[in-house]
Structure formats: C-alpha cells, structure tokens
C-alpha cells in the first residue's frame, strides 16, 4: 500500500514592491490581465494586490497556495519561463525594489490557515519572535483584542510565521506577522491593550486597500500614497 503524502501547511506568500511615478496604472493593468492569470495557471489559489495608504512600500501582493510544493512543481517552473520572457511586463518592473516573504499560518489564534483572502482592506503588522511574542499576541486576541479589531471592521486575523526563503527573491522582514483583513481602514493606532510587540513597530507595517481583484473603490487606485 502506498502511503499518502503528508499534509502541507498552506502557504501565504507576500510580495512587496515600490512603483515609480506614473507606474500604478501600467502595473494594475499588467497584474490583472497577465500576471494573475499566469500565477493561477502555476497553481496559486488566490492572487490579490493592495495599494498602500500607510507603509514603507507602495504595493503588497498576497498569494495563497496549498503548500510549499508549489515552488517545486512543473507548473511553477513553466510560469518562471513565461515570466522571464513576458512581452507585456512594464519596463520599469525589472529594476524596482521587491521583498518576497513566504509565511505559514501559526495555530495559536485558531484561524483557518487556508481560508481565501478576499478583503477590501489589508493590514500587516510585523514583529520579531522571542520573549513570549506569539503568546502575548494570541492572549490579547482571545481576551478582547479580536473583538476590538472587529469593531474597526476587521473580519479575520491570521498570525503568520516566516518559513524558508522564496526561490524567486529575498526578504529582511521580521519572523512574525499579524495579518488583518477588514471592510474599511482600521486606523493607524491599535486598540488599547495591544501588546508591546505590535505597538513598538518592530518591523515595517502596512495598511492598504484592494487594487486587484475588483478594487474596493474605482477612484482609490489613482490616489497618491501619503507615506511616500
């Protein structure tokens, strides 16, 4: 009898980029009509893109997959060959800064790791491990933090931990992240009582509204990022 393969941890792959002036619309069109379709063919189950209103980088893309093995698949190898010769790629994309961080969901908050991301607003709070950081965040969420976030429009939170480096790029982001999915901008300040590991801003945080798919408001993608 052949043994069934061991289950994988669902992958949450976060890619951050900065765009040059005037680059948003070409990027949005390419992402929607070329890039996302290629990634779905490669095996990703969710492709999303968010435009910053606060944060160190202009764009955060979040991709979901059943597990790390997507990076080792024939479909992903085919995608990389296509991407290397993509005639539709905006010329500026080849030289822009990017950070690529693969995560898996931590179990401490009980949130379903593979639940599809489909939120109008996304916040990523990054923090380092150690000194009971995970326990502090999980305890705060259970003790009322999740309810306080819900009052701000947060419909789901996921506690994420970095896994091995991506085969397509590098990352200098902290080891942990709390990803908040919301119906509106939850605000820059966290609720009272949030643990110091989050409020101390150990790493670059991000809040943005959805750019792809179905932007949450058609006018928003043309707005400047106040943080730049």
pLDDT at residue 2, rounded to an integer: 41
| pTM, rounded to two decimals | 0.90
pLDDT at residue 167, rounded to an integer: 94
Strands 121-127, 46-55: pairing kind:
unpaired
List the structure tokens of 183.
């119906």
Percent of the chain with pLDDT over 90: 71
Q: What does each C-alpha distance from 191 to 127, 137, 145, 149, 199 come to in angstroms?
A: 17, 13, 7, 7, 10
Domains of the chain: 11-217 (3.30.70.100)
Between the two ends of the chain, the Cα-to-Cα distance in Å is 59
pLDDT at residue 146, rounded to an integer: 93
Is the pLDDT at 124 greater than 90? The verdict is: yes
Mean pLDDT of the chain: 88
Interval 70-108: pLDDT, tens: 999 999 999 999 999 999 999 999 889 899 999 998 887
Interval 159-180: pLDDT, tens: 999 999 999 999 999 999 999 9
- Tell me the pLDDT band of 201, cut-offs 50, 70 and 90: low
Is the pLDDT at 219 greater than 50? The verdict is: no
Alpha-carbon gap, residue 129 to 38, rounded angstroms = 35
pLDDT at residue 6, rounded to an integer: 55
pLDDT at residue 203, rounded to an integer: 58
- The secondary structure element, H or E, covering residue 104 is strand 98-105
Interval 5-25: pLDDT, tens: 457 899 999 999 999 999 999
Classify the phi-psi angles of 226: left when phi > 0, otherwise alpha if psi is within -120 to 50, otherwise beta. Answer: alpha
pLDDT at residue 216, rounded to an integer: 72
């Amino acid at each position: 009898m052949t043994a069934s393969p061991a289950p994988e941890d669902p992958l949450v792959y976060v890619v951050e980029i900065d765009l040059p002036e005037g680059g948003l619309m070409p990027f949005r069109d390419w992402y929607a009509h070329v890039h996302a379709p290629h990634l779905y063919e490669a095996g990703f189950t969710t492709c999303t893109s968010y435009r910053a209103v606060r944060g160190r980088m202009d764009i955060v893309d979040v991709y979901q997959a059943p597990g790390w093995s997507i990076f080792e698949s024939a479909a992903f190898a085919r995608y990389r060959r296509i991407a290397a010769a993509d005639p539709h790629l905006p010329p500026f994309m080849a030289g822009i800064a990017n950070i690529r961080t693969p995560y898996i969901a931590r179990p401490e908050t009980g949130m379903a790791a593979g639940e599809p991301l489909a939120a109008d607003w996304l916040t990523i709070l990054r923090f380092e491990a150690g000194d009971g950081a995970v326990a502090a965040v999980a305890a705060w969420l259970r003790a009322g933090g999740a309810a306080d976030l819900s009052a701000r429009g947060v419909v789901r939170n996921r506690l994420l931990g970095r896994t091995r480096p991506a085969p397509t790029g590098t990352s200098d982001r902290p080891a942990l992240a709390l990803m908040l999915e919301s119906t509106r901008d939850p605000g820059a300040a966290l609720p009272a009582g949030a643990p110091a590991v989050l409020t101390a801003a150990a790493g670059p945080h991000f809040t943005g509204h959805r750019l792809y798919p179905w932007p949450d408001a058609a006018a928003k993608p043309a707005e400047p990022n106040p943080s730049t």
